[in-house]
Structure 1
Amino acid sequence: MKHYLPLALILSFTFSAASAQDKKIEKKIDSVLKLMTLDEKIGQLNQYTGDRDATGPITNNPNKLKDIKDGKLGSMLNVRGAKETREVQEVAMQSRMKIPLIFGLDVIHGYRVTFPIPLAEAASWDLKAIENSARVAARETAASGVHWTFAPMVDIARDPRWGRVMEGAGEDTYLGSQISTARVKGFQGKGLGNLDAVMACAKHFAAYGAAIAGRDYNPVDMSEHTLWEVYLPPFKAAVDAGAATFMNSFNTLNGIPATGNAYLQRDILKGQWKYTGFVVSDWGSIGEMIAHGYAKDKSQAAELALNAGSDMDMESRSYLPNLAKLVADKKVSVALIDDAVRRILRKKFELGLFNDPYRFSNESRQEKELNSPQNRKDALLMAEKSMVLLKNENQVLPLAKNLKKIAVIGPLGKSEKDMQGFWSIQWQNDNLVSLYQGLKNKVGNQTELLYAKGCEIEGTSTAGFAEAVETAKQADVVIMAVGETLDMSGEAKSKANIHIPGVQEDLIKAIQATGKPVVVLLMAGRPLIFNWTADHVPAIMYTWWLGSEAGNAMTNVLYGDYNPAGKLPMTFPRDEGQIPLYYNYLSTGRPAKNDQDTRYRSAYLDIQNSPKFAFGYGLSYTTFDYSNLVLSKTEMGMNDKISVSFTLKNTGKYDGEEVAQLYLQDKFASVVRPVKELKDFQKVMLKAGESKTITFNIDKEKLSFYNQQLKWTAEPGDFKLMIGTASNNIKLEKDFTLK
């Protein structure tokens, strides 16, 4: 990897892009910079945490407020609430330069009202709904005096052992890029400076989702081709959508820590992509370059990070005590410090904080916005859209309206806090709705609800099985709530075993043996393995962690008041030994034709190659038919387009939505291409019996890829077009040629 664009070129990129954007702000930044001492400039690059909502190891600092007053701080995270942010900002206004602080917070899937975890929202394949989810979170966050969220996480993740898959959009680059754009737009609304907008932060730059063995903070080792083809596009989408900030990642990339990686931050982000926002380190990641063996002490870590393009130091305490001496020793240039400060000041001006440092700290606006009925209504709809129906034999679902007795069985049946999921803001009186409460809200006194916990989520005790079985025998139908606790997926929650924890699947077997109709609801932050359940239970719904309105949403889907339409954004494996497993793999010289074709083939002897549930898979209470595929032409030039149309018909008895997915395969190219790649999709609502003509357009961009020289290009040749309801369920296909 080549490092370091010339300094003059770096600064020219910044100036040209910024001057075109807002010359007035640039003049104001120049004026402020001229008045600042070197120590005050370094202070702007320093970020401390508040005393609550900590998301990393806290370094004790009894002089925190004094540092703010002395101008040694540019930002704080984990300070929230209109009153609290105003109080801290008042301290900053006592500094010599009176430069306001930026307040940041991990608002990952909702602030006061909790939405489904990001991976669940990705399962909706509904970009407008995802954007609105971020919009609601932004309104609540901004009303609480917070200016900045450390989201969206746009890491592509192909390994469900990695706990942070719950925080992203799954395994696919195209879907991930679309969701990256939607979330940035949602957080930032009509633009920074509006009182309902917060700064987005695209993270983790870059390739964090490919941590070896799915173990958090682990190294990443990959070809540049894979980096550019798979992992960088969602970040470029965030740049194009106007993301205000980036966060670098904990991992090394091919031996270089991302925090000190000039190729990523200087050459690509600030160079080729001409990015004018600023880069914040992840929590303590600058200092962690010592543990990596890349820096000998915090002074060298500060030197490497600043020179590589990390503008703000989050909680490693490396910049503040060391940068001035590094400048004196000519190891860090004042020009690079000025560039970093300029980027941070620019956002403070754009937020309007220099005009009014307290403009977001309005208690009356906060009281009006937080947990409003409309926000909860939006959270309910998002939760309904996020569920994926995996199985529904004999039409067990939707439930009949006249059931006399329903048994809720399982350790998550009455859980409220687990519905919130990991990376959520903790509140008193959170009004979280459990599955049991959601059913009670729905059926009232018309249906008797029975309950048995059955077992704990972890552990080996089966002492509660007998009670659960007896409870099930009394019911017309059994709803089982099993899966993970909220703290089993997320940061530092990597797992080698991703089967359903504890004896929960044994509980499912015991209840299934009663002969009663069983519906299993799986609640988790990652794809789990549950082969016996998948093979034997008639109805299975993957509900993830759905947030504040979880129980009401699950109940609405169970009763058919909302027809599920979610599709999996990640592949579900049969066994951990298959991981990493993803749909858009490269073919080998000896590809297996099917799961039985194993002799001298790229295949396992002891397990099938295929996943248990494929990327893009998800059922509905209705059925859909694909027919009448028509291409406007079968040959296209480099500047042409092909119009692709087909008929989609709802052939069932329920109104419902279908996600029609367009995949392409470049059959022969100068670089081996995937067997298929998602290149477009449409989510379509159809009434029972209704048909619609669906149209996709194919242009050069959809046929382009990075060649051996990492040039984005399209090559003449033959392509296969595939349209289907999942990556492994193609309904229509046809070939065409690019001339």
Structure 2
Amino acid sequence: MVDTRLSRRAALMGAGAVAAWASSPARALLMQADATIRMGVVPAPVDALIARMTLEEKAGQLTLNAAAWGGGVATALNPPSTGPSFEGQVADAVAGKLTGVFNGNGAVMAERMQRAVMQGSRLKIPLIFAADVIHGHRTIFPVPVAEAASFDPDLAMRTARVAASEAAGAGIDWTFFPMVDIARDQRWGRTMEGAGEDVRLGELFAAARVRGFQGRDLKADDAMMACIKHFAAYGAAESGLDYNVVDLSERTLREVYLPPYKAGFDAGAMSAMASFNEIAGIPATGNPWLMKTVLRDEWRFPGIVVSDYTGDEEMIAAGFAEDGRDAARIAFMAGVDMSMQSNLYMLHLPGLVREGLVPQATLDASVRRVLAVKHMLGLFDDPFRRIDVKREKARSRTRANLALSREAARRSIVLLKNDGGLLPLPTSGKRIALIGPFASGQHDLNGPWVVYGDNANAVDLATGIRGALKDQNALTVVAGCDVEKPIPGGIEAAVAAARAADIVLLAIGENEGMSGEAQSRTEIVVPAPQQALAEAVAATGKPVVIVLKNGRALALTGVVRDAPAILVTWFLGSESGNATADILFGTASPSGRLPMSFPFESGQEPYHYDHKATGRPAQALSDTYKAKYRTALNAALYPFGHGLTYGTIGYSALSLPPTMAWNGVIEIAATVTNTGARTAEETVQLYIRDRVATITRPVREMKAFRKVRLAPGAGETVRFTLKRSDLEFIGVDMKPTVEAGEFDVWIAPSAQAEGVTGRFVLAAG
């Protein structure tokens, strides 16, 4: 059993470790390094340190394993594997066999490991501590795709800043986030980790999250290194099946999937993670075109590339490598600097170098990059800079952090439908029946991919609603059914509660285990027992508000689709119940917009708004021999960008010049007015379509958006500026190009709404 207490003796030994480090050869050599690393220039003292290392110590710097003393639910989030005890792992670290560990148990664990290395290792190179800090550390924020629904990258930067402060306070130097994979197939469970289906939104959120985690100075004790993942195109897995193959054109890769990665690297991210998938038959972990040609040569990326969890080893099962030794060689020579969890680099790289199958210069280059990022994180200045038990507690779940969680959750909620102005609800005078498996209880609140948070500390829906009501006795709570199975007598109890109420809130959808990694679904619908519950409750004739819990877009059917009011509330984190109550009762007006399209039917997936017209576009379901399904158009039930407010928003007065000069810009404007009785925040979106091009273009592409807050009766002229580079696409030669011609323009509230529309011509150069 691991002793989690930090004794006075341990603290004194930690001080001794700092003193030992201060006089170590590694510190003396690397104190001369500076910010030129970010430009890909590594100072000479780094090479002097590398020259003193054995091949085994070099391989150790390229080996990252899960912490033997795991934190929170970390052990349940990754495939099980055998490994050393904590004491054995510490011994490996001291022997130079590890560069660091991930998903460990906080500052106490980190202090013990770092102290042992600083006191006992030959070169005293600091360990790096990493973790999956995906949407919060102790304070949990909405799942990333929910936060993307805010259409507010600044919000994402602020939540990442708090997550970094909390996690760095717990001794964590490096987060495996942001995930920037474009997700166009909602069957894929990892949709919840990204920013949805749109390229522009993906770029903006990738950059914002990197800036939030890394802050202004990576050496700061509240900053962490960000990791752009999964490189590349993991979100394009065939059939939405996790870990599946990807087969797409280079044009689609460059035009749709690569831009958010590039945006994250341009924002300063110093690490990348290779994806599990293959592209065109070559696993990403063994793909030199991705890791070298694109990432290093074209984008000039100076940071480190780490495999995903046993990603190198998995090339054996994929039929791309013969054995572990072959997998290590392939991955390393493809450009993957660091091996996660398989231990293949530690086992095989020294021998591969000795046999001449891996050049020592290539090995040294990867070690140089690893040492460089450790320096950038300030670990060579002070290996304990983020390890502080008191600071860990002081930074966690502060009042300010929880307030931001509530704000982020409010801004993530999307109002899909509100017939007759059913919402917001009054806080008194109405009897409310809260029904469904997510009505109450400390479960399924934080969402998937939370290592250190605890649902027991999150606010459930019933608690949030009771806090908003003037008379708590006006609320009746009934489960009705479980998530995927009925409860004996559950529907009868729910129907009775509905009949006794004036309004029904139906809390249904997915639980945490139905979204996230390894949670692909063939039918993205509300589970059958919940659908049956909804049908029975709706039959009472009482007005129903659907409160959806979900980590992906869903295909809504029956009374769920037809309910007068529908809220998408995702997995909202620590302040779930309070934030949802804020929207339900009008303390705040809904302002979220869908970052992905909700299809009519599951069978439409993969679906995305910026699809091609084809040569036979359908205008109506009755059209024959057109691009449509027998039961649905090639369109969405609720499209990307859709979301209502408690105001009534109108678009008018488009201002659009007829021509854009080849080297010029144009300003496009429209008037947006709130004719409702409540203040509202509208997300005004700009879309274009290139009508004729040498490469067929999508029916619409979002180029920009602006959020405007409008008082009742107020209007505002919203302006956008388009330049020629905004019209680029990947041409025949796989290079960005622009062609003169006609362009359609929409300023609209969603990707399918008309808003106001016009056309301009890009003049020839």
What is the TM-score normalised by the length of structure 2? Answer: 0.92
Instruction: Classify 1:215/1:87 alpha carbon distance in 2 versus 1 (closer, same or farther; 3 Å).
Output: same
2:357 maps to which of 323, 331, 341? 331
Once residues 572 and 425 of structure 1 are traced to their aligned partners in structure 2, the CA distance between those partners, rounded to angstroms, is 29
Give the deviation of 1:719 after TM superposition: 0.7
Task: Check conservation: 2:227, 2:273, Cα contact below 8 A.
Answer: yes
Report what 2:48 is aligned to. Answer: 31
Once residues 643 and 440 of structure 1 are traced to their aligned partners in structure 2, the CA distance between those partners, rounded to angstroms, is 49
Give the deviation of 1:23 after TM superposition: 9.4
Report what 1:11 is aligned to. Answer: none
Task: Check conservation: 1:25, 1:349, Cα contact below 8 A.
Answer: no
Once residues 80 and 563 of structure 2 are traced to their aligned partners in structure 1, the CA distance between those partners, rounded to angstroms, is 46
Q: Letter of the 2:78 partner, please give it.
A: G
**Partner deviation per Cα, 1:510-536 (whole Å, 9 max, x = no partner):** 111112221110101111122213543
Two-structure CA RMSD over aligned residues (Å): 1.6
Q: Letter of the 1:662 partner, please give it.
A: L
Q: Does 1:268 align with 2:294?
A: yes
1:420 maps to which of 443, 446, 466? 446
Report what 2:761 is aligned to. Answer: 737
**Partner deviation per Cα, 1:617-648 (whole Å, 9 max, x = no partner):** 111111111111112x3222232110111111
Instruction: Classify 1:441/1:312 alpha carbon distance in 2 versus 1 (closer, same or farther; 3 Å).
Output: same
1:567 maps to which of 585, 590, 593? 593
1:87 maps to which of 93, 112, 129? 112
Report what 2:24 is aligned to. Answer: none
Report what 1:432 is aligned to. Answer: 458
Give the deviation of 1:363 after TM superposition: 1.8
Report what 1:646 is aligned to. Answer: 670
1:678 maps to which of 699, 702, 705? 702
Task: Check conservation: 2:544, 2:563, Cα contact below 8 A.
Answer: yes
Give SS of 2:162's match: helix
Give the deviation of 1:721 after TM superposition: 1.0
Q: Judge which range, 459-468 or 247-256, deviates more.
A: 459-468
Report what 2:66 is aligned to. Answer: 49
Once residues 36 and 448 of structure 1 are traced to their aligned partners in structure 2, the CA distance between those partners, rounded to angstroms, is 71
Give SS of 2:598's match: coil
**Partner deviation per Cα, 1:588-642 (whole Å, 9 max, x = no partner):** 1111123332x111122233332211111111111111111112x3222232110
Report what 1:61 is aligned to. Answer: 83
Report what 1:622 is aligned to. Answer: 647
**Partner deviation per Cα, 1:576-596 (whole Å, 9 max, x = no partner):** 211111100012111112333
Give SS of 1:526's match: coil
Instruction: Classify 1:366/1:334 alpha carbon distance in 2 versus 1 (closer, same or farther; 3 Å).
Output: same
Once residues 429 and 273 of structure 1 are traced to their aligned partners in structure 2, the CA distance between those partners, rounded to angstroms, is 41
2:636 maps to which of 611, 616, 623? 611
Give SS of 2:462's match: helix
Report what 2:512 is aligned to. Answer: 486
Give SS of 1:478's match: strand
Report what 1:727 is aligned to. Answer: 751
Give the deviation of 1:690 after TM superposition: 1.3
Alignment of 1:690-729 (within 5 A): 690-729=714-753
Give SS of 2:755's match: strand
Q: Judge which range, 582-591 or 429-438, deviates more.
A: 429-438
Give the deviation of 1:663 after TM superposition: 0.4
Q: Letter of the 1:100 partner, please give it.
A: P
Q: Letter of the 1:195 partner, please give it.
A: D
Instruction: Classify 1:22/1:391 alpha carbon distance in 2 versus 1 (closer, same or farther; 3 Å).
Output: closer
Task: Check conservation: 1:404, 1:446, Cα contact below 8 A.
Answer: no
Give the deviation of 1:80 after TM superposition: 3.7
Once residues 268 and 207 of structure 2 are traced to their aligned partners in structure 1, the CA distance between those partners, rounded to angstroms, is 9
Alignment of 1:569-588 (within 5 A): 569-588=595-614
Alignment of 1:405-416 (within 5 A): 405-416=431-442
Give the deviation of 1:430 after TM superposition: 4.0
Give SS of 1:568's match: coil
Give SS of 1:411's match: coil
Alignment of 1:112-127 (within 5 A): 112-127=138-153
Q: Judge which range, 306-315 or 571-580, deviates more.
A: 571-580
Once residues 634 and 660 of structure 2 are traced to their aligned partners in structure 1, the CA distance between those partners, rounded to angstroms, is 36
Q: Letter of the 2:61 partner, please give it.
A: Q
Give the deviation of 1:22 after TM superposition: 7.0
1:602 maps to which of 592, 617, 627? 627
Give the deviation of 1:34 after TM superposition: 2.0
Q: Letter of the 1:481 partner, please give it.
A: A
2:427 maps to which of 371, 381, 401? 401
Task: Check conservation: 1:456, 1:502, Cα contact below 8 A.
Answer: no
Task: Check conservation: 2:459, 2:578, Cα contact below 8 A.
Answer: yes
Give the deviation of 1:20 after TM superposition: 7.3
Give SS of 2:294's match: helix
Once residues 725 and 21 of structure 1 are traced to their aligned partners in structure 2, the CA distance between those partners, rounded to angstroms, is 40
Task: Check conservation: 2:35, 2:376, Cα contact below 8 A.
Answer: no
Once residues 566 and 503 of structure 1 are traced to their aligned partners in structure 2, the CA distance between those partners, rounded to angstroms, is 28
2:285 maps to which of 250, 259, 269? 259
**Partner deviation per Cα, 1:331-360 (whole Å, 9 max, x = no partner):** 111111111111111111011111111110
Task: Check conservation: 2:428, 2:471, Cα contact below 8 A.
Answer: no
Once residues 362 and 535 of structure 1 are traced to their aligned partners in structure 2, the CA distance between those partners, rounded to angstroms, is 51
Once residues 497 and 265 of structure 1 are traced to their aligned partners in structure 2, the CA distance between those partners, rounded to angstroms, is 35
Q: Letter of the 2:558 partner, please give it.
A: W
Instruction: In structure 1, list runs of 5 or more residues that go unmatched.
Output: 1-16
Q: Does 1:376 align with 2:402?
A: yes
Give the deviation of 1:404 after TM superposition: 4.0
Q: Does 1:296 align with 2:313?
A: no
Report what 1:470 is aligned to. Answer: 496
Q: Letter of the 1:693 partner, please give it.
A: T
Report what 2:12 is aligned to. Answer: none
Q: Judge which range, 563-572 or 48-57, deviates more.
A: 48-57
Q: Letter of the 1:227 partner, please give it.
A: L
Give SS of 2:670's match: strand
Report what 2:686 is aligned to. Answer: 662
Once residues 614 and 359 of structure 1 are traced to their aligned partners in structure 2, the CA distance between those partners, rounded to angstroms, is 47
Instruction: In structure 2, list runs of 5 or more residues that go unmatched.
Output: 1-33
Once residues 572 and 680 of structure 2 are traced to their aligned partners in structure 1, the CA distance between those partners, rounded to angstroms, is 21
Report what 1:7 is aligned to. Answer: none
Once residues 653 and 430 of structure 2 are traced to their aligned partners in structure 1, the CA distance between those partners, rounded to angstroms, is 46
Give the deviation of 1:429 after TM superposition: 7.8
Give SS of 1:322's match: helix
**Partner deviation per Cα, 1:521-564 (whole Å, 9 max, x = no partner):** 01011111222135431111010010010000000100011100
Once residues 472 and 63 of structure 2 are traced to their aligned partners in structure 1, the CA distance between those partners, rounded to angstroms, is 60
Alignment of 1:344-355 (within 5 A): 344-355=370-381
Once residues 565 and 247 of structure 1 are traced to their aligned partners in structure 2, the CA distance between those partners, rounded to angstroms, is 33
Give SS of 1:723's match: strand
Alignment of 1:49-448 (within 5 A): 49-51=66-68, 52=70, 53-54=74-75, 55-62=77-84, 63-93=88-118, 94-427=120-453, 430-443=456-469, 445=471, 447-448=473-474
Q: Letter of the 1:41 partner, please give it.
A: K
Give the deviation of 1:56 after TM superposition: 2.0
Task: Check conservation: 1:169, 1:175, Cα contact below 8 A.
Answer: yes
Q: Letter of the 1:266 partner, please give it.
A: K
Report what 1:457 is aligned to. Answer: 483
Q: Letter of the 1:619 partner, please give it.
A: L
Once residues 463 and 336 of structure 1 are traced to their aligned partners in structure 2, the CA distance between those partners, rounded to angstroms, is 67
Report what 1:593 is aligned to. Answer: 619
Task: Check conservation: 2:609, 2:635, Cα contact below 8 A.
Answer: no
Identity of aligned residues (%): 44
Task: Check conservation: 2:214, 2:224, Cα contact below 8 A.
Answer: yes
Q: Judge which range, 318-327 or 52-61, deviates more.
A: 52-61
Q: Letter of the 1:412 partner, please give it.
A: F
Give SS of 1:554's match: helix
Q: Letter of the 1:709 partner, please give it.
A: D
Give the deviation of 1:57 after TM superposition: 2.4
Give the deviation of 1:651 after TM superposition: 1.2
What is the TM-score normalised by the length of structure 1? Answer: 0.95
Q: Letter of the 1:377 partner, please give it.
A: A
Give SS of 1:726's match: coil
Give the deviation of 1:460 after TM superposition: 4.6
Once residues 75 and 283 of structure 1 are traced to their aligned partners in structure 2, the CA distance between those partners, rounded to angstroms, is 14
